[in-house]
Chain A
Amino acid sequence: MTEPRTLHAFLVIVRRDLMLANRSRAEALNPVLFFVLVTALYPLAVSAAPDTLRMLAPGIIWVSALLASLLSLDSMFRTDFEDGTLEQLATAPHPLPVLVLAKVLSHWAVSALPLVIVSPLLALLMNYPAHAIPQLAATLLLGTPVISGLGAIGVALTVGVNRGGVLLSLLILPLYVPVLIFGAGAAAAAASDLPIGGHLQLLAAMSLLAMTLAPLAAAAAVRISLE
């Protein structure tokens, strides 16, 4: 038997998950639809005054993105758990954290990356200053991997529980507070023409940390859920 190649296995899982997402596109579009709808409702409910919107924009966009990501988290391991694929991954001859990282990254690409892509549109809707839009998108680009990474741990822990959704939110939401503070704070600072290099570096550091350590914890959680 030839040596199984772990990097190849990683790519196989990423490719498989992207293919599956492509085949259930309606489901994959859910988070981005939620993001757009929630953000669009604020001007109607709060105030359509341009100055108010401008002030609220960073917070609203970040909270909506956070909730949209949270909603989509459950699908990360759910179907794989139900149809036995997760058992196959756990008994594959590769380190489970590597395969989990593949799933986390493809889930991020399918559910969080579209949020980053539509965020400039929503920023305009919310009267967020146009010149700061690239920075806003950058905060989301660097912040959403933290959401996916930490979320993976919670999802892996609750996937064996029927209706783990509520438990998942209670478990994970407190952990999102730092990234929300830095993300929304950076977006607000950028709107006031303040430098946000420090914020972005912190977000990037959190992302790297989440992407390296979370798969280890999530893989351990997957093993517990499978027991």
Chain B
Amino acid sequence: MPVQPFGYVNLLEASNLKLTRQERVLFEALSFTAAPGSLVVVEGANGAGKTSLLRILAGLTPAEEGDVRWRGREIRGCRSAFNAEFAYVGHGLGVKLNLTPEENLQVVGGLTAGGNASVDHALDRLALSAHAAVRCAQLSAGQRRKVALARLLIRDARLWILDEPYTALDRATIETVDGMIRAHLAAGGVAVMTSHQTVGLDAANRHRIRLGDD
């Protein structure tokens, strides 16, 4: 199939992924594709390999077998092009405790050419404006996660990879995050996420990947 960087039907394609940990096969022959506007929800018990799968999709961990393609190209072969289009919120939040939320987001903006206007907007959207000048060390777990999620509004990424985004969030914030994801999908983005909670998102193009049921 000829590779077309734009207008390619599937943005993200995983084919035949396999991962073994401690001589246990967590998953193999795992394949899926995600067209613009798709939401991929990865489900499974603790230790089923959800985080590992997300790290493979993010290009952080190599898969034992199979490959991950973005716009038809292997992600580890076009890392900077891929990185420019994707944002990752993982277990480690990537939030510096000795910086304020505003400073944390300014660093993100500086790394991705987002302006300070979008920092203010992101703080506002996640109701962090009141704490913008407090060091993250003094914020609650939920508030720190909000700082990490605010990155999504600054990065302008086409692919979101979210590992348990709802952990420690209150109901109002979960709704805000759902709204962010819906808007992202409506704009033609792709989101891949894990969650123990039933995801209250009813995207038209929703895939479910269940790990550890074999």
Contact = CB atoms under 8 A, between A and B. Distances in A.
Contacts of B86: 91
A26 interface: no
A83 B95 contact: yes
Interface stretch (A16-24, A161-169, A181-189): A16-24
B60 A87 contact: yes
B113 A2 contact: yes
Interface residues of A, number: 30
Contact of B59 (A2, A85, A91, A92): A91
Contacts of A84: 90-95
Contact of B110 (A1, A12, A90, A227): A12
A82 B58 contact: no
A94 B59 CA distance: 14
Given A1-B84, A4-B84, A83-B92, A227 B60 contact: yes
A161 B58 CA distance: 22
Interface residues of B, number: 30
Nearest to B112: A4
A227 B62 contact: yes
B129 interface: no
A19 B110 CA distance: 15
Interface of B is mostly: loop
A160 B107 CA distance: 24
B198 interface: no
A19 B103 contact: yes
Interface string A1-13: 1111100110111
A72 B133 CA distance: 29
Contacts of A134: none
A87 B88 contact: yes
Contacts of B108: 88
A12 B98 CA distance: 16
Nearest to B92: A84
Nearest to A22: B98
B96 A93 contact: no
A159 B94 CA distance: 16
B146 to A, nearest CB: 15
Interface in B40-96: 58-62, 80, 83-84, 86-88, 90-96
Contacts of A89: 111
B99 A93 contact: no
Output the residue of A5, A23, A87, A95 with the most chain B CB within 10 A.
A87
A226 interface: yes
B187 interface: no
Contacts of A1: 84, 113, 156
Given A1-B84, A19-B99, A93 B94 contact: no
A85 B110 CA distance: 14
Output the residue of A1, A3, A23 with the most chain B CB within 10 A.
A1
B183 interface: no
Contacts of B96: 16, 20, 83, 85
B93 A3 contact: no
A3 B80 contact: no
Nearest to B76: A223
Nearest to B110: A12
Contacts of A90: 60
6 contacts: A4-B111, A4-B113, A9-B111, A91-B58, A91-B83, A91-B88
Interface of B: 58-62, 80, 83-84, 86-88, 90-99, 103, 107-108, 110-113, 135, 156
